[in-house]
Amino acid sequence: MSLTRRGKMAAGASTVAVLALGAVGYFAIFPNRAPAFVQDAMSKVGLAEPPPPSCPLTGQPAPHGQVPDRPALAIKVENLPDARPQAGLDRADVVYEEPVEGGITRFIVVYQCHDGGRVGPVRSGRTTDPKVLVQFGRPVMGYAGAQASVVRAIDRAGVIDMNYDIAVSAYTRDDSRPAPHNLYTSSRSLWKAAKAREGAPAPVFSYDPEVARPSRKARTVHLPFSSYSDVYWTWSRTQAAWLRSHGTVPHVLEDGTQVRAANVVVMQVQVSSGPIVDAAGNHSPEVELTGSGKAYVFRDGRMVIGRWERETLKDVTTFVTKAGAQIALAPGVTWVELLPSTIRVQADR
């Protein structure tokens, strides 16, 4: 006997239900094979375990399964040739490279999930620092002195000031290194001195195992800040990381390991001469970090071109493609390069 139209519809619905139940059963047994939206739905009804806690500033699993209950901590590290090799950069979650006077650069080295046992050489603060750090909530900042206007800007931004003059016991001098390139600290010493009660910051980047589209292959990135900081990043497929060099010289740390990152994010920014002048007569640059500008995101051996956007300093910088879609990073350590817009990014396949 042939089925009526209503019967056919009922039979079809029954078949779909059986297939759906089968899919649910399969994904319940193998939850990691389910699409992200399926895993999310399953977790809400108790069919899949929630993902383990991840570090807010790297997107990687938290050490020992728990995010440390402490704020972000930023330490200013020098990058003159006389300061190399540095210590502690490999333990950071995020590193910002900023232009300072005389064509040199310095690092804002940000920790949260991991500790830097020896970090340095530590040098002075700049007006760029609070503009960057306000995105991390109320972080701690370690540095070695600054002009009065910079100290006031740090205070206005709500950053917890752990300047060398305030937390002397958190810093040490290494007599084997020439001054002023011999001041060091540790993340634990600064967190202890700050006595900060703030918890972990909110994420400042989004993460996804998949690379945003459109993208293209990239093997080498050249960022010629200056002759002092002629930066190259080269993708290593075997190490699944971007490796940093100055010119043809690998950028190594005190233990001989080369500086590396999962993500290299280049923000092209407007830079002008500021009112602060150093002893050599060089004006400290003012870096504009609101508005928008061109952005390049390098991850997984590929390059995504888009733009960065930040309406006010109270906002977190976002990165979007030319079509306006959010650009996610690979879980792992991120280096953000604040490159003057007058310098061209050179990327080779």
Q: What is the arithmetic mean of pLDDT over 187-201?
A: 95
Q: What is the arithmetic mean of pLDDT over 162-190?
A: 97
Domain count for the chain: 3
Give yes or no for residue 28 having a pLDDT over 50: no
The pLDDT score that the predictor gives to residue 103 is 86
Give yes or no for residue 319 having a pLDDT over 90: yes
* Least confident residue range of 6-10, 232-236, 301-305, 318-322: 6-10
Buried b (16+ CB within 10 A) or exposed e, 131-148: bbbbbbbbbbbbbbbbbe
Give the model confidence (pLDDT) of 272-287 as tens digits.
Answer: 988 877 766 778 899 9
Residues 6+ apart with CB under 8 A from 268: 293, 294, 295, 339, 340, 341, 343, 345
Give the model confidence (pLDDT) of 205-261 as tens digits.
Answer: 999 999 999 999 999 999 999 998 999 999 999 999 999 999 999 999 999 999 999
Interatomic CA distance for residues 127 and 130, integer angstroms: 6
Question: Residue 315 belongs to a domain with what CATH number?
Answer: 3.50.90.10
**Residue 17 and residue 141 in one domain:** no
**Residue 69 and residue 126 in one domain:** yes
The residue type found at 50 is P
**Residue 222 and residue 337 in one domain:** yes
**Residue 10 and residue 79 in one domain:** no
Q: What is the arithmetic mean of pLDDT over 122-139?
A: 97
**Residue 228 and residue 182 in one domain:** no
- Closest by Cα among 136, 133, 137 to 153: 133
Instruction: Enumerate the β-bridge partners of residue 268.
Output: 339
**Residue 81 and residue 165 in one domain:** yes
Tracing tokens 């972000």 back to the chain, one arrives at 72
**Residue 242 and residue 339 in one domain:** yes
53 within some domain: no
Interatomic CA distance for residues 164 and 169, integer angstroms: 8
Q: Are 327 and 258 in contact (CB under 8 A)?
A: no
Interatomic CA distance for residues 47 and 260, integer angstroms: 38
The pLDDT score that the predictor gives to residue 51 is 80
**Residue 290 and residue 185 in one domain:** no
97 within some domain: yes
The pLDDT score that the predictor gives to residue 114 is 96
162 within some domain: yes
Enclosing domain of residue 19:
5-44
Q: Are 194 and 75 in contact (CB under 8 A)?
A: no
Q: 81 preceded by cis ω (within 30°)?
A: no
Give the model confidence (pLDDT) of 135-162 as tens digits.
Answer: 999 999 999 999 999 999 999 999 999 9
**Residue 17 and residue 114 in one domain:** no
pLDDT classification of 102: cutoffs 50, 70, 90 = confident
Q: Are 167 and 154 in contact (CB under 8 A)?
A: no
- Closest by Cα among 261, 286, 221, 303 to 58: 261
The helix or strand, by DSSP H or E, that contains position 329, with its residue range, turns out to be none
**Residue 185 and residue 253 in one domain:** no
**Residue 186 and residue 77 in one domain:** yes
309 within some domain: yes
Give the model confidence (pLDDT) of 258-267 as tens digits.
Answer: 999 999 999 9
58 within some domain: no
**Residue 71 and residue 178 in one domain:** yes
250 within some domain: yes
The helix or strand, by DSSP H or E, that contains position 149, with its residue range, turns out to be helix 148-156
Q: Are 336 and 286 in contact (CB under 8 A)?
A: no
